[in-house]
Structure 1
């Protein structure tokens, strides 16, 4: 928050006449601004469409409700050092050239004649082209940990001693609630705490889970980020990919304060490219669980809204939220789909290019502990700027699982459906799911192995429940399901060959494969990491 106030003070002192702060937190923004205005010896004059100009809580002139009249009155009021706060002014710029012109002339007048500035507070602002050189955008960050702690402490203290409620405002309780509340607005924090008081008439450490559940709902309401539940995942659910696992295990330690003291920066992230169904998305969920970090899934498709300018605001909001919840993992699944068209921008007026530029700049310059976990299936659609060093710490290629990996995946799937892997002939299943059944380089993906086990399980249950045959799931059931499947590797042979050739020079192999047990396709693919 100190960085925001420092930057805002700098802009005001430098006589920037129009500063737009895109935020839903109007009250908090005004409160912060009032403290800064007092420091700069400026009075705060707030304008709303319902009350006109307000000074010290009182309306100044009923005529100022009219926006055109208010913009003219501001010239006279601005001769005394003032900070004008225009709330939800964006509604007056839509298809209203007269209002746009009025505000532009006000900016020019204040800059030349008055020691005053204007601030525009609204959730979003489609800046007319006439005002693009007049307005500077400054993002208000969500409350950080210290500010969240103060908000929660003030709320708790206000209810201490009140009849009918029990409030624990000790340091440990406040700290726990604060950690859970990071990433919420001030209003959302206070509403969630009030809801807890209403439900059980108490405020204590038990409310941490309630805050987390409320946070998930609030994040989902943005429609851009999804709070993914990873409580049922761990790295044992990922078969193979030992190179990737080793690499991630080392990055986990880099988020500690000890790593900061040692001179390490926070890891930037990783890009997983490869064949669909081979564990890219599963790895994201398992890593978040292993690292005990919240997993935020960014839907690139929802970034691009219908209103011009909203896409850029959506991206800024998503990145801002991921930083507020940090340390966190930002999962961008199938990133190539969201960045399609960013190379030229001809089909959408340059929106994709601007959104892509915002993402790249943030990835390059971010200092917060947000680990970007991006996945891609079609590397031909990835912009080259995304692949250069500095965006990600490493790029991994995930190929079709090897024989050892398929054996591990079969074991994981059988164990997951409550069957003992030792009761099955895993070697036979491994052979049937690989080149022995089809041809060189054609093997089942991890998701296809999951599918055949589930199909076989369904057949076994049908046999038992309908045909009254008590024969349990067996190797032959799974083998039969394999024979009825057409592998992705066979139907998309050319695509897989292309990505393998690309990965030889541009990516690290996610699997650790011994050369003496690998197929020809595996030996030629990528490189191992030496640890």
Structure 2
């Protein structure tokens, strides 16, 4: 057990924190910490299935429900220092009698000098009744830091009596960041059983195991994709910037030792249908790490504090599976109402503040890709330098980019040929976005199939262009507003100047 965990728990007890709520799945780890802190303390445990349990042996001592247990043990603190360890009682924390009994014990602990009882609530689900908010301290078991992960791996290597390259140990140490000791040992055992050794290939196994945590949580969504950086037509400034960051991610351990900062993320602002979402997928492909999407709407709960707790868990989960790309699509909608009046807006404002603080303080390998169409209502502090490594503006594609986008979609469907006049198509597609151009190619190929043609021509494509309403005509005013907002902030263009 890490001394830091024991020391923090001891300091809470010394400071008379009456109820300590520990959100964790591995009760053995918590029991060890409590045993360290309470060497000379009477420890009494409640288990939902068995009632009163011997804390050391885990043997059942008396069958009872939680209310009976609290009544039996509530006065023990007058006789000697006592710990009440309550496991998985979150379902009972809406019972007025249970709340009243817990409150009485907490108040005795705070105000009666001859009484000393600390309550530990152990559960994976956090439920904090409003009546007990001021008495409860939520305690997170700190995750192992780099040196501790290194020690766990070295202990495993020594126990298994195997040889592992130091460079491999350093690399997988970073991949294990965000996992607890139990999970690290589980994955090391799995890797060893799989091949009888630990090598660089096991980085992929670690990522696969981390993906399991996401699927089970339901708070983040794993995004599967086939797109890569070559599927983006244009946006050369953005692609060059990402390629530099990819080199850092590919050699993260060496880069950190050299003094390079861990990349934080980017915000991509601009026109709808111009490749912002595609860039999020291409970034994960380029970095060779998982892509997970954070849907803020999915985190909103109906109980007080539930939304904030869900946000905390989602961010913690993203750290657990890092390195990863955390994608927040249309972030201006996710945090709509920030700073406004009313209950819903208050929750959104708190979530926004929580997310900002996490972004500012994070020292992990979660790379954020935030996309937005309209940032006119976004709080200015969100766009401040230091939140993201860079802000990019994606404009409607220029002539050269339109040519590349058309070529990509034609080649993808095996319909590109040398006879297609790119210059003519560029002239007729001014104001089209990537989605418009893809629609042109799709419609042209469909019509060619219906008409029994083997090959498509420039004329076929131009006919589809004339039949397609571009974004510039359908969202003319909105595009003006977006460009007006962009002119007021310092933002890097994602595209290079047009050569046509």
Equivalent residue, structure 1, for 2:368? 372
Q: In the TM superposition, what is the alpha-carbon distance from 1:324 to its structure 2 partner?
A: 2.0
Pick closer, same or farther for the CA change 1:448–1:106 going to 2, 3 Å: same
Aligned equivalents of 2:78, 2:144: Cα separation in 1: 31
Deviations along 1:172-197, one digit per CA (max 9) or x if unpaired, are 69959877776667777788899999
Distance 1:6 1:481 in 2: 70
Give per-residue Cα distances to partners, 1:385-424, cap 9 Å, x unaligned: 3223332233222110111111121222222223446442
- 1:395 pairs with 2:391: yes
Tell me the distance in 2 between the aligned counterparts of 1:78 and 1:414.
81
Q: Deviations over 1:155-182 (max 9, x none)?
A: 9999x8xxxxxxx965469959877776
Check if 1:454 corresponds to 2:452. no
How far apart are the structure 2 equivalents of 1:286 and 1:62?
Answer: 59
Q: CA deviation at 1:6?
A: 4.7
Match of 1:329 in 2: 325
Rounded to whole Å, the distance in 2 between the matches of 1:234 and 1:78 is 67
User: Structure 1 residues 28, 277: closer, same or farther in 2, change over 3 A?
Assistant: farther
For residue 220 of structure 1, what is the aligned residue in structure 2? 215
1:444 alignment partner, one of 410, 418, 432: 432
| Whole-angstrom CA distance in 1 between matches of 2:4 and 2:407 | 52
Distance 1:366 1:344, change over 3 A: same
How far apart, in 1, do the equivalents of 2:245 and 2:172 lie? 28
Gaps of 5+ in 1: 161-167, 435-442, 518-531
Aligned equivalent of 1:473: 456
Q: 1:522 is matched with which residue? A: none
8 Å Cα contact 1:78/1:110 also seen in 2: no
Aligned pairs for 1:180-195 (under 5 A) are: none
Separation in structure 2 between the aligned mates of residue 3 and residue 386 of structure 1, nearest angstrom: 33
Q: Distance in 2 between matches of 1:341 and 1:4?
A: 38
Change in Cα spacing, 1:313 to 1:514, as seen in structure 2 (3 Å) is same
CA contact 1:53–1:70 (8 Å) conserved in 2: no
Trace 1:414-429 onto structure 2 (pairs within 5 A): 414-420=410-416, 422-429=418-425
Tell me the SS of whatever aligns to 1:395: strand
RMSD of aligned residue pairs (Cα, Å): 3.6
Question: TM-score scaled by structure 1?
Answer: 0.80
CA shift at 1:319, angstroms? Answer: 0.8
Q: TM-score, normalised by structure 2?
A: 0.84
Q: 1:513 to 1:189 in 2, by over 3 A?
A: closer
Query: Could you report, residue by residue, the CA deviation over 1:14-37 in whole angstroms, capped at 9, with x for unpaired residues?
Result: 3322222223x1425424524642
Change (3 A) 1:194 1:323: closer
Contact kept in structure 1, 2:6 and 2:37, CA below 8 Å: no
Equivalent residue of 1:109, what SS?
Answer: helix
Q: Relative to structure 1, is the Cα distance of residues 314 and 4 closer, same or farther in structure 2, using a 3 angstrom cutoff?
A: farther
Match of 2:84, SS state, is strand
Q: What SS class does the counterpart of residue 75 from structure 2 fall into?
A: helix
1:39-438 paired onto structure 2 within 5 Å: 41-42=40-41, 44-54=43-53, 55-59=55-59, 61-62=61-62, 65-70=65-70, 73-77=73-77, 79-94=79-94, 96-111=95-110, 112-113=112-113, 114-140=115-141, 171=164, 212-230=207-225, 232-252=226-246, 256-344=252-340, 346-348=342-344, 350-420=346-416, 422-434=418-430
State the alpha-carbon separation in 1 of the partners of residues 157 and 52 from structure 2. 34
- CA drift of 1:229 comes to 3.4
2:37 corresponding residue in structure 1 = 37
| Structure 1 residues 247 and 191: CA distance shift in structure 2, 3 A | closer
Partner of 1:19: 20
Cα distance between partner residues in 2 of 1:137 and 1:431? 62
Deviation of residue 8 (structure 1)? 3.3
> Aligned equivalents of 1:422 and 1:43: distance in 2?
84
In 1, the alpha carbon distance for the partners of 2:387 and 2:217 equals 26
Provide closer, same or farther for how the CA distance between residues 63 and 35 of structure 1 changes in structure 2, counting only shifts above 3 A: closer
Any conservation in 2 of the 1:85–1:118 contact (CA below 8 Å)? Answer: yes
For the Cα contact (< 8 Å) 2:77–2:116, is it kept in 1? Answer: no
Q: CA–CA distance in 1 between the matches of 2:417 and 2:218? A: 41
Separation in structure 2 between the aligned mates of residue 218 and residue 333 of structure 1, nearest angstrom: 22
Which residue pairs with 2:493 in the alignment? 510
Cα distance in 1 for partners of 2:183, 2:417 equals: 48
Matched residue pairs, number?
A: 490
Deviation at 1:500, TM superposition (A): 0.4
Q: What is the SS of the residue equivalent to 1:363?
A: helix
- Which shows bigger deviation, 316-325 or 205-214? 205-214
Contact 1:233/1:286 (<8 A) preserved: yes
Find the aligned partners of 1:358 and 1:9 in 2 and give their Cα distance: 28
Note closer, same or farther for the CA distance 1:50–1:390 as it changes in structure 2 (3 Å cut): same
